């Protein structure tokens, strides 16, 4: 990695440290972790449940901070990321690395001490996978970086489930698979819009390496694979028909927007697909909770 020397220009504030945690990413991580926790058939003390959710949030933020430390050189080159605290010189690399490592270790140790071994184990795997496999190894090596690296972001439901049960079963791994298949079309939609940014930073995202049309085809492939997987829990009896109907409608809309991107030359269509993908994941997982709590 190219060493980037940054001279501080503005004193850091609390918001800079908050941005290191990638709060928008964290919000989805926490939400899917809560879903895993709620769906688990066992019982858990509310205080312990809150501790587990906090550990998931802090662990996610720690991985984001370490990611920003390692990628500070390419962040400085990209319009989307150049305003982050490190490229702007408001924080120094050593501060950010120390901050991230401290939060990572603290979240895993707290999860182990207060919650359960397996919840702490999967949290540690998620952090280490995101940092070492995705950030350090895959991000600058292969256009499949987001596919393989997406496993880290898919683990929160498993962590939430393990916080209650201290073990896992088929359902949390189905949720893992849903997020795993959702991640590529979600990020590739953004990379379609920002492909010049990635090219400038020499990051081998799929649109840069394989072109826009190939990326659009890959997006459709993953959406088509995602739809039946979201319906599989209806077949297994874990969720009811109302969940299935909601999920199917959302999946058809997702596919429709993917087809529109495939046929369109308008970059804004990729932005709409990216934004909808966030809403899609939220609705699908919210429908799971409603099925569990309200008996859809």
Chain segment 144-163, per-residue pLDDT in tens: 999 999 999 999 999 999 99
According to the model, what pLDDT value does residue 12 have? 80
Rounded distance, CA 55 to CA 94, Å?
23
Chain segment 201-235, per-residue pLDDT in tens: 899 999 999 999 999 999 999 999 999 999 999 99
- Of the chain, the percentage scoring pLDDT greater than 70 comes to 96
Rounded distance, CA 68 to CA 21, Å?
9
Chain segment 77-101, per-residue pLDDT in tens: 999 999 999 999 999 999 999 999 9
According to the model, what pLDDT value does residue 2 have? 47
Q: Tell me the two tokens of residue 52.
A: 């587990």
Rounded distance, CA 135 to CA 72, Å?
12
User: Residue 188: in which H helix or E strand, if any?
Assistant: helix 170-193
35: nearest Cα among 124, 176, 157, 143: 157
Kindly report the pTM of this predicted structure: 0.94
Q: Please state whether 202 falls in left (phi above 0), alpha (psi between -120 and 50) or beta.
A: left
pLDDT at 9 > cutoff 90: no
Q: Tell me the two tokens of residue 292.
A: 């569990």
Q: Tell me the two tokens of residue 37.
A: 């926790």
According to the model, what pLDDT value does residue 8 have? 47
pLDDT at 36 > cutoff 70: yes
According to the model, what pLDDT value does residue 295 have? 61
């Amino acid at each position: 990695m190219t060493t980037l020397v940054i001279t501080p220009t503005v004193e850091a504030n609390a918001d800079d440290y908050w941005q290191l945690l990638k709060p928008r990413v964290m919000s989805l991580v926490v939400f899917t972790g809560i879903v895993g926790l709620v769906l688990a058939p066992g019982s858990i003390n509310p205080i312990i449940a809150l501790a587990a959710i906090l550990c998931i949030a802090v662990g996610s933020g720690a991985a984001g901070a370490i990611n920003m430390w390692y990628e500070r050189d390419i962040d400085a080159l990209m319009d989307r990321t150049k305003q982050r605290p490190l490229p702007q010189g408001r924080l120094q690399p050593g501060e950010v690395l120390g901050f991230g490592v401290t939060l990572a270790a603290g979240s895993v140790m707290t999860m182990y001490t207060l919650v359960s071994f397996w919840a702490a184990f999967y949290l540690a795997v998620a952090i280490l996978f995101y940092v070492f496999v995705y950030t350090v190894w895959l991000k600058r090596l292969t256009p499949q970086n987001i596919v393989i690296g997406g496993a880290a972001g898919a683990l929160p439901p498993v962590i939430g489930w393990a916080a209650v049960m201290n073990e896992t079963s088929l359902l949390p791994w189905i949720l893992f698979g849903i997020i795993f298949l959702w991640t590529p079309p979600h990020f590739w939609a953004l990379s379609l819009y920002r492909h010049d940014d990635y090219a400038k930073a020499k990051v081998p995202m799929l649109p840069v390496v394989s072109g826009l049309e190939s990326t659009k085809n890959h997006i459709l492939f993953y959406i088509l694979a995602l739809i039946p997987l979201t319906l599989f829990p209806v077949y297994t009896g874990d969720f009811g028909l109302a969940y299935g109907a909601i999920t199917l409608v959302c999946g058809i809309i997702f596919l429709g927007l993917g087809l529109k991107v495939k046929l369109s030359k308008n970059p804004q269509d990729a932005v709409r697909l990216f934004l909808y993908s966030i809403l899609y994941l939220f609705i699908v997982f919210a429908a799971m909770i409603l099925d569990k709590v309200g008996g859809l």
